[in-house]
Amino acid sequence: MQGLEIPAQLLVVYCLVHLRFVGMMFTFPLFFTTASPVPFRFLCAVFLTVTAAGTLAESGEDFAVSMVLLESWVPLLLMALRELFIGAALGLLAALPLVALQVSGEQVSMAMGLSMASVMDPLMDRQTSIIGQLQFLIGLWFYFRWNGHLLLIQAVVESLRLLPPGRLSWIPAGDLSFGDWLSAVFDLAAKIVVPFYCALLLADVGLGFLARTVPQMNIFILGLPVKIALGFFVLAIVLPLAVEIVYAHLERWVEFALQSSMVWR
């Protein structure tokens, strides 16, 4: 009988670890794209589960689930929801730099007059602005370049040590710091957008003076290409600085995601 209990416990632990990686895979923008099919994401979660479980076994971590909890489906459901929520929180909160880049791109497109020129985002399967899509793809490329995906996977593995699977607490014991996360998103997006607003405001003032001095000129026709050209010129200057800002916040927000997930202790 004891020989049957050990494989059952191992199977439950592997499934719970797998659900934590699945939650991360389905919330982080790096993996949550239509370019990566759902079976592929599940398969990646399986490989990460096997690797993480082997790493934790080598480090001496011993996870065990009481056989009393396996006698009913209710404790299993609560433990599964807890693992999904932990993985989803890690993936969502760690994605702050990419979300800030996309939000700032939406605001820049609106300021440049390109809000109507939306395109189909093939990654997220939705409509988005041109500048938002450009900044998101550049941020995604640099996220790979800086091994941000490896940092996120390392954070999930570290969460297995700090938050061992097999607990019944599927409701967080405190605040997940979503308020701090949202304020940080808009703060980081504002740092990127402010130079565009300043430059385009000066362009509007100059066009206003031009309209008063040369009333024969059609400012409405002249203003749109001028603001678009000025916006792309400022974008060429600001985007490298925005990438540096994102790089400075990369590790910080992965650590923030890991600290915020501790409410499931």
pLDDT tens per residue across span 118-156: 666 666 666 777 888 888 888 888 888 888 888 888 888
Q: What is the pLDDT of residues 78-121, one digit of tens each?
A: 888 888 888 888 888 888 888 888 888 888 888 887 766 666 66
Residue 119: strand pairing partners: 128
Candidate from 24-33, 146-155, 185-194, 240-249 with smallest mean pLDDT: 24-33
Cα–Cα distance list, 121 to 96, 234, 235 (Å)? 19, 24, 20
Closest CA to 16 of 178, 152, 159: 159
Residues 6 or more apart from 116 whose CB is under 8 A from it?
A: none
Rounded to an integer, what distance in angstroms lies between the CA atom of residue 139 and that of residue 182?
Answer: 19
The owner of tokens 């385009």 is 200
Q: What is the DSSP letter of 71?
A: G
Tokens of 52: 């993480």
Please tell me the distance from the alpha carbon of residue 13 to that of residue 18, in angstroms, as a whole number: 8
pLDDT higher than threshold 50 for residue 165: yes
